[in-house]
Amino acid sequence: MAWFKRQKEGIQTSTEEKKEVPEGVWEKCPACKKTITRRELEENNFVCNCEFSYHFRIGSELYFKILFDDNKFTELDKTLKPTDPLHFVDKKSYESRLEDAWKSTGLLDAIRTGTGKINGLDIVVACMDFSFIGGSMGSVMGEKIARAIDYSREHRFPLIVISKSGGARMMEAALSLMQMAKTSAKLALLDRAGIPYISLLTDPTTGGVTASFAMLGDFNIAEPGALIGFAGPRVIKETIGKDLPKGFQSAEFLVEHGFVDFIIDRRELKDKMTQLLKLIESDKEAVKASTAKKKRGTLVKV
């Protein structure tokens, strides 16, 4: 049986001949701790097939691909980019941070907006990118959301905002905080016009984003396991001096306590969104018909 015995000791392959696994081919699921190929993740909308259905963080490019029919859409206000009016400096200048973010992500800011069709239905989508300075909310984000709302009102298209943010962009100080009031006021106009607004909260959605437009949807929905809150659990625990409940600030915890309407698996996102939009539209038509009958003096059974 000498044919399977090692004839020489040690590794015989030279360093030059070794083949390394290309970077990014495998990903490790933080929930089940197993490795999975990136190709398999892409085919599964970056959701692990394990019992936990762990949702990896993705950006606007992939959300647009998931939602828009054939990935066809018109990007809105694509040239808007932030400036440094306060000349803010901490360890680095804000200007240099922006330069680094532009180069590393290929994005101009932490949000992109676009309009297209979802299963044949017209829609406006605004989606954040956490890779750009932690998805932080600055003046450009507020302006792009405001303009997306205006476009939605003008064309009477429903609006979907996908949040993924660490909160306000502190390098813009009060200019960032002003976006909370600005976007909330614009959404009030959208509500007055009777146009649906769906807020999708993904991991993480925190700070000023949570305290403003992210929680003002006609429907507030979330991805499984998403961290959603204003301040972090550690800060809250130190403030109140008590231990927090298990699963505090998770999407599941918020559904249980009535802060989020329901949870949608990303693999079902497009179909569930379509069902929801059709349900809203049919409900509106039913209300119109009921109102018309009442004006004609017809009794309507509820």
**Distance between CA 134 and CA 268 in Å, rounded?**
26
8 Å CB contact between 144 and 111 = yes
d(CA 209, CA 138): 10
What distances in angstroms separate CA 190 from CA 100, 121, 124, 162, one per listed residue? 36, 18, 13, 17
The predicted structure's pLDDT at residue 302: 40
Q: Residue holding tokens 């959301």?
A: 145
Q: Cα torsion at 243, 206, 212, 274 (round to 10°)?
A: -110
Average pLDDT for consecutive 10-residue bins of the chain (302 residues)? 58 54 78 94 95 96 98 97 95 96 98 98 98 97 98 98 96 96 98 97 96 96 96 87 91 96 97 96 73 60 44
pTM for the full predicted model: 0.88
Look at residue 20 in the predicted model and tell me its pLDDT: 52
Q: Read off the DSSP letter of residue 6.
A: -
Q: Report the distance separating Cα 182 and Cα 216, nearest Å.
A: 13
pLDDT at position 232 is 82
Query: Which tokens sit at 201?
Result: 């909260």
